[in-house]
Amino acid sequence: MTAQVSSQAVHGADAAANDVLTQVRNHIGHLTLNRPAGLNALTLEMVRHLHQQLDAWAKDPEVHAVVLRGAGEKAFCAGGDIRSLYDSFKSGDTLHETFFVEEYALDLAIHHYRKPVLALMDGYVLGGGMGLVQGADLRVVTERSRLAMPEVGIGYFPDVGGSYFLSRIPGELGIYLGVSGVQVRAADALYCGLADWYLDSAKLAELDQGLDQLVWHDTPLKDLQGLLAKMAVQQLPNAPLDALRPAIDHFFALPDVPSIVEQLRSVTVADSHDWALATADLLESRSPLAMAVTLEMLRRGRQLPLEHCFALELHLDRQWFERGDLIEGVRALLIDKDKAPRWNPPTVQALDARHVASFFDGFEQSGS
């Protein structure tokens, strides 16, 4: 999920068919998220449509590979349609429970998909959008790409497999991205291993032509890699996170969020001073509880296989609407728009380690 709100969802099978466009060309199944006005935010109907189509293509010998993309130039997918989940909870319905179960099942299916998946990550790739692409075999970013797991800004935690893919980024970079919710661009996405290839957005049409004309020789994955190798690159110079890596690895290895903020504020070294203060300010604008649970979740996720990471996230989900900060975050940022969330606890310093730990109680029995 993410902090992105979409336009009002249209429900039903017909809407899903319009919201997810499907086409097969040259043995490639193309799936296009088609809600550009809502930055292609996911509804439950879209999740179901995507999963059903992927299942059908997995069994179809005429389909060799799948391409995922978003309509428009602004976003691949800016996450889940969070407003509909808020409304569900407030009205006593169960959409918010069903959505996460089915969204995670779709994301897991992409991780295990038997045919290569090429994800075109043009524009915003946030929250649930990251869940769709991080299991893909070939992840392409452009100069317009903005990747993030920004959930802590709305009182939530980075889910959709974030406990797996963020926790496996080298050093403490994934902890930093999850606890802060910052966005990264193409160079950092490649540096962190959140993307595999860079291609100018102006060449996306040329890539489509190449896909339409691709002659299948070897395995489908190698054929696709060969096409990308002619058009794209796998590294970009001057990744900002490369320069920040020593500082990030130091601060985000500290035991807890209060320690991280305290030490960021005490930095006097000129090279890191501005970044450290800006990062401390950013963290203090986020939900303290969401950051603390995220830190614990990501550190646990390092030791868990993929399926157990999704199980851990569902374990947290089942408590979060009642006990977490999400409902207040949505109220403050998307409903009333006063931008003054009353987080509980209100400050990083007021965090109670036992309260944070309580969200993980019982997981060993139920989730692993």
Other Cβ atoms less than 10 A from the Cβ of 270: the count is: 7
Residue whose structure tokens are 């296989």: 305
Contact of 306 with 161, CB cutoff 8 Å: yes
Which residue among 159, 196, 313, 325 is the active-site one? 159
Q: How far apart are CA 228 and CA 262, in angstroms?
A: 45
Q: How far apart are CA 128 and CA 249, in angstroms?
A: 26
Which residue among 19, 107, 122, 151 is the active-site one? 151
Tokens matching residue 194: 């959140």
3-state DSSP call for residue 118? strand
Terminal Cα distance for the chain, rounded: 23
**Residue 80 falls in the annotated catalytic set:** yes
Which residue among 79, 128, 131, 329 is the active-site one? 128
**Residue 128 falls in the annotated catalytic set:** yes
* Amino acid identity, position 29: G
Contact of 141 with 276, CB cutoff 8 Å: no
Which residue among 80, 129, 324, 367 is the active-site one? 80
Q: How far apart are CA 280 and CA 339, in angstroms?
A: 19
List helix spans (H) across the chain.
13-19, 44-58, 82-90, 95-111, 128-133, 162-165, 173-180, 186-192, 204-213, 220-231, 240-251, 257-265, 270-283, 288-301, 306-323, 326-330, 353-358, 363-367
Tokens matching residue 248: 């990030």
**Residue 159 falls in the annotated catalytic set:** yes
Q: How far apart are CA 161 and CA 112, in angstroms?
A: 13
Tokens matching residue 62: 């005429």
**Residue 352 falls in the annotated catalytic set:** no
What is the set of active-site residues? 80, 128, 151, 159
